[in-house]
Amino acid sequence: MLRVSFQGERGAYSEAAALSFFGKKIKTVPLPTFADIIEQTENGKTDYAILPIENSLEGSVGESHDLLYSTRLYAVGETYFRIRHCLIGLGPLEKIDTVYSHPQALGQCRKFIQKHHMKTVPAYDTAGSVQIIKNLNKKNIACIASKMASEIYGVLVVKDRIEDNSNNYTRFLILSKEKTKETGRDKTSIIFSVKHEAGALFRVIEKFHDYKINLTKIESRPTKNTPWEYNFYVDFEGHEKNSKISEMLKKIKKETLFLRILGSYPSAELS
C-alpha cells in the first residue's frame, strides 16, 4: 500500500487532496510540519509527500517554495483541490466571537469573519483547530476547517461554505524520490538564480520565447543567504526529457548562477 505524508491532522485539506489524487487505497501519514513530510519521503518512510504550493485566492505558500529549493525529491504530479470551508463549533453562530484556523483559511474567509465581528486566532492546521476548540469546549469559540474534519472529530458544522470566493482552489505538488516518464501532456518546474545585473533575467526568459515554450508561472522568492537577491520559480509546458526542452534547459543553465530541475509531471486540470 502506498504511503503518503501530509502536513496537519486527520481531516486536513492536504489529506483530502492526497485521497483525491491517489484514491482511497493509500495510507496517509499526518505530520506536524512541511519539513517533516519532506524528510519522511526522503528517508523512504513514505513513498510520496503532498505539498500545498499556492492558493487561487491567497497566493503562494512561501514555506513550501523554500523547501523545494533544498529537497532531494522530485515533483512527479500535481492536483488542484477545491477548498470548501466550514465554520465548526459547539454553539450557535450568533454567540461565536472567536475563530481559530490556519492563517491561509482565515484569509480565505475574511469577509465572513469581518461581517460577524469575530476575533481570529491563528493555528498551525485547519483540522488541528477543530481539536483545539473541542478541547476548549466553549460555545463562543469556533474554527474554520473541512466537513471531513468536522466528522472525524465529532464537532458540528455551524455554517457551510463560508469562503469569500467559490473559486477557491489549492494547488498541490506530489513529491517522490523517483522521476516520471514523458506522457505528452506534461509540465516542468525549475528553480534558478541569475546575476544581479541588467538583462540577466531577460536572457533566461528569452530562451522560452526562442523555443516557443509556454510559461505557466514565474515567481520570485528571496534567497536566504544574501539580502535582496532572489530565486526564480518557473513552471512551463513540456517534459525535461523532450529533446527541445532539454536543449533549451542547457542554454538557460549557461545564463544562471544556479539551476535546479524540480521535476516533470502530468499537467492537472481544474475539476
- Kindly list the catalytic residues: 170, 172
Amino acid, single-letter form, for residue 160: D
Buried b (16+ CB within 10 A) or exposed e, 11-49: bbbbbbbbbebbeeebebbbbeebebbbbbbeeeebbbb
β-sheet bridge partners, residue 87: 144, 159
β-sheet bridge partners, residue 28: 4
* HEC string for 141-208: EEEEECHHHHHHHCCCEEEECCCCCCCCEEEEEEEECCCCCCCCCEEEEEEEECCCCCCHHHHHHHHH
Closest CA to 53 of 14, 21, 95, 16: 14
Amino acid, single-letter form, for residue 69: Y
